[in-house]
Amino acid sequence: MIHSLVFLNGFEREITVGNALVTSYFKCGCSSFGRQVFDEMLERNVVTWTAIISGLSQNELFEDSLRLFLKMRHGMVEPNFLTYLSSLMACSGLQALGEGRQIHGLVWKLGIQSDLCIESALMDMYSKCGSLEDAWRIFESAVELDEVSMTVILVGFAQNGFEEEAIQFFVKMVKAGTEVDPNMVSAVLGVFGVDTSLGLGKQIHSLVIKRSFGSNRFVGNGLINMYSKCGELQDSIKVFSKMPQRNSVSWNSMIAAFARHGDGFRALQLYEEMRQEGVEPTDVTFLSLLHACSHGGLVDKGMEFLKSMTEVFRISPRTEHYACVVDMLGRAGLLNEAKTFIEGLPMKPDVLICQALLGACSIHGNTEVGKYAAEQLFLLEPDNPVPHVLLANIYSSEGRWKERAWTIKRMKEIGVVKETGMSWIEIDKKVHSFVVEDKMHPQAVIIYGVLAGLFRLMKDEGYKPDKRFILYYLDQDVKHN
DNA sequence: TTAGGGTTAG
């Protein structure tokens, strides 16, 4: 409407008007209109360029954003502080370490590398590109810190596999009396998972109450996920039901929580409520629903969701959605259907899809389809030990010891190593972790005694162990027992 | 007129 008025009055030639139009189109998410205005502008200044570079980044069109930044540098317009900030965002999104380093160099030349905003953007770029060392170096030498730069480094820890350090960093900041904001709290809540302490999660919840962050939707959603991942479904429900305002992430998180805890029925019921409330589902809603159907054996319902996702809501399925469907068909024992489904996909199956199929074959012992899935995976990820182990499991379940031995030999020849599985439990704020045949725990004798007692009780109740997949570590005595 | 971080699946 405003654009039409501008056009009628001939104001579109005014550079300030053009800049404002570009900015507002991108802020509304209308990227194509923003681009069109930019393309048609006869004159462009640094604000025009910065508006489009930043607008594209904010709409996750990182590649185009970076391309325009490079194009700008070849022209006559000099980038400014905000242009560098926006181009660093594009590098983070693209995980473009090389380009990010180059921009770091340019920023250094200009002498603005110590600006707090530039430092946060640089740290974010380095940690999202997987170079936590570079991010940490900037953090350590920073003269000033604020909530944003601390959140960046916290998330950097978590995304680079240092979840425990991320949580400890937060705890240290709070103990030191540092001001934390709701964004930082939601970031730390996102780090919690099965192997983190529920006790700490509850302490963060009490901090949320003390600081009155409870009405913040990001924080509320973070709490739902924290409790659900730590095994406390009832607490997730409590947080969800008390939320003053919910968005699609809140609903998705709660649907996922039910799915995670094996309650497919309630996950689907919640989806119905979500629709009744008029909340539009997203691609993640359908991932959670497909996951719920997969674990609840609701194949027909799952196929219906895939159909409505594309036909009713016009959401294009991603490879993750297809992998969920394959997992669902596979778990239900419909392996040939899963293979046919994959063959009918508009793209070549990727690692997730093939792994889902192979996993299902190892449960149901289908050598023919299993071999097909494993061969695909060998090509896609030669260093991944999972397909070798799963294929060996399939041969083992069918008593095809020669093929099984050959698979393990091949695995050793290529030099792929399977990581040892681990389990853990938290008692009195201390996490105890165990690997297979672990005797290192100080109370190992008592623990094994309890295990033996439990095993006897299970046997008395008629439990028969599934011995098909016993491959490593256990000797034959155990297997023949 | 252009601005750094955050929650959802696996």
Q: What is the CATH number of the domain that holds A167?
A: 1.25.40
Asked if A120 and A86 sit in the same domain, the reply is yes
Whether residue A302 lies inside any domain: the answer is no
A380: Cα separation from own chain's centroid: 21
Query: What pLDDT shows up at residue A195?
Result: 84
Asked if A149 and A135 sit in the same domain, the reply is no
The mean pLDDT value for A254-258 works out to 97
What CATH number does the domain containing A114 carry?
1.25.40.10
Asked if A92 and A170 sit in the same domain, the reply is no
Compute the C-alpha angle A193/A194/A195, nearest 5°: 95
A365 backbone dihedrals φ, ψ, rounded to 5°: 65, 50
Query: What pLDDT shows up at residue A449?
Result: 67
User: Can you tell me which residue has its alpha carbon closest to the C1' of nucleotide B6?
Assistant: A183
Contact predicate A86/A100, CB 8 Å: no
Closest nt to residue A121, judged CA to C1' = B4
Asked if A47 and A157 sit in the same domain, the reply is no
Burial environment of residue A207 by CB neighbours within 10 A (0 to 12, 13 to 18, 19 or more) = middle
Distance CA A92 to C1' B4 in A: 12
Whether residue A286 lies inside any domain: the answer is no
Whether residue A132 lies inside any domain: the answer is yes
Please state, for a pLDDT cut of 70, what percent of chain A lies above it: 85
Evaluate if the CB of A288 falls below 7 Å from strand B.
yes
User: Can you tell me which residue has its alpha carbon closest to the C1' of nucleotide B5?
Assistant: A148
Instruction: Using the predicted structure, report yes or no on whether residue A1 has a pLDDT greater than 60.
Output: no
Distance CA A153 to C1' B5 in A: 9
Evaluate if the CB of A124 falls below 7 Å from strand B.
yes
Query: What pLDDT shows up at residue A8?
Result: 45
In A 148-167, which Cβ lie closer than 7 Å to strand B? 148-152, 155
Higher pLDDT, A365 or A252: A252
**Cα distance from N-terminal residue to C-terminal residue, chain A:** 79
Closest CA to A326 of A466, A317, A253: A317
Asked if A44 and A164 sit in the same domain, the reply is no
Please state, for a pLDDT cut of 90, what percent of chain A lies above it: 62
Closest nt to residue A82, judged CA to C1' = B3
Asked if A354 and A473 sit in the same domain, the reply is no
pLDDT band of residue A478 (cuts 50, 70, 90) is very low
Length of chain A measured in residues: 481
The mean pLDDT value for A96-125 works out to 97
Distance CA A183 to C1' B6 in A: 4
Closest CA to A118 of A143, A154, A155: A143
Asked if A1 and A127 sit in the same domain, the reply is yes
The mean pLDDT value for A327-332 works out to 94
Whether residue A303 lies inside any domain: the answer is no
Q: Map tokens 């063959």 to a residue.
A: A343
In A 30-49, which Cβ lie closer than 7 Å to strand B? 45-47
Closest CA to A215 of A235, A186, A193, A237: A186
Closest CA to A156 of A145, A143, A169, A141: A169
Whether residue A307 lies inside any domain: the answer is no
Query: What pLDDT shows up at residue A404?
Result: 83
Q: Which nucleotides of B are covered by protein (CB under 7 A)?
A: 1-10
Number of domains making up chain A? 4
Evaluate if the CB of A232 falls below 7 Å from strand B.
no
Query: What pLDDT shows up at residue A112?
Result: 96
Query: What pLDDT shows up at residue A141?
Result: 96
The mean pLDDT value for A164-173 works out to 96
User: Can you tell me which residue has its alpha carbon closest to the C1' of nucleotide B3?
Assistant: A82
Distance CA A100 to C1' B5 in A: 18
Domain boundary (A97, A119, A141) is at: A141
Whether residue A428 lies inside any domain: the answer is yes
Distance CA A480 to C1' B9 in A: 40
Amino acid, single-letter form, for residue A183: N
Evaluate if the CB of A355 falls below 7 Å from strand B.
no
Asked if A62 and A26 sit in the same domain, the reply is yes
Asked if A231 and A344 sit in the same domain, the reply is no
Closest CA to A149 of A184, A198, A185: A184
Asked if A344 and A397 sit in the same domain, the reply is yes
Evaluate if the CB of A217 falls below 7 Å from strand B.
yes
In A 445-464, which Cβ lie closer than 7 Å to strand B? none
Closest nt to residue A321, judged CA to C1' = B9
Closest CA to A332 of A366, A370, A360, A372: A360
Evaluate if the CB of A386 falls below 7 Å from strand B.
no
Higher pLDDT, A264 or A409: A264
The mean pLDDT value for A282-307 works out to 95
Closest nt to residue A88, judged CA to C1' = B4
Domain boundary (A141, A176, A201) is at: A141
| CA A443, A444, A450, A453 torsion-angle sign | negative
Distance CA A254 to C1' B7 in A: 12
The mean pLDDT value for A219-237 works out to 97
**Mean predicted lDDT score pLDDT of chain A:** 87
Q: Map tokens 């707090």 to a residue.
A: A116
Whether residue A2 lies inside any domain: the answer is yes
pLDDT band of residue A331 (cuts 50, 70, 90) is very high
Asked if A184 and A126 sit in the same domain, the reply is no
In this prediction the pTM is 0.82
Closest nt to residue A187, judged CA to C1' = B6
Asked if A90 and A172 sit in the same domain, the reply is no
Contact predicate A48/A79, CB 8 Å: no
Distance CA A163 to C1' B5 in A: 17
Whether residue A298 lies inside any domain: the answer is no
The mean pLDDT value for A159-184 works out to 95
pLDDT band of residue A474 (cuts 50, 70, 90) is very low
User: Can you tell me which residue has its alpha carbon closest to the C1' of nucleotide B4?
Assistant: A117
Domain boundary (A372, A399, A419) is at: A419
User: Range of A236's domain?
Assistant: 145-245
Closest CA to A135 of A151, A119, A118, A159: A119
The mean pLDDT value for A186-210 works out to 94
The mean pLDDT value for A59-66 works out to 95
Distance CA A8 to C1' B9 in A: 48
Query: What pLDDT shows up at residue A367?
Result: 84
Q: Give tens-digit pLDDT for A77-93.
A: 999 999 999 999 999 99
Instruction: Using the predicted structure, report yes or no on whether residue A443 has a pLDDT greater than 90.
Output: no
Contact predicate A236/A208, CB 8 Å: no
In A 50-69, which Cβ lie closer than 7 Å to strand B? 50-51, 54, 58
Distance CA A155 to C1' B2 in A: 27
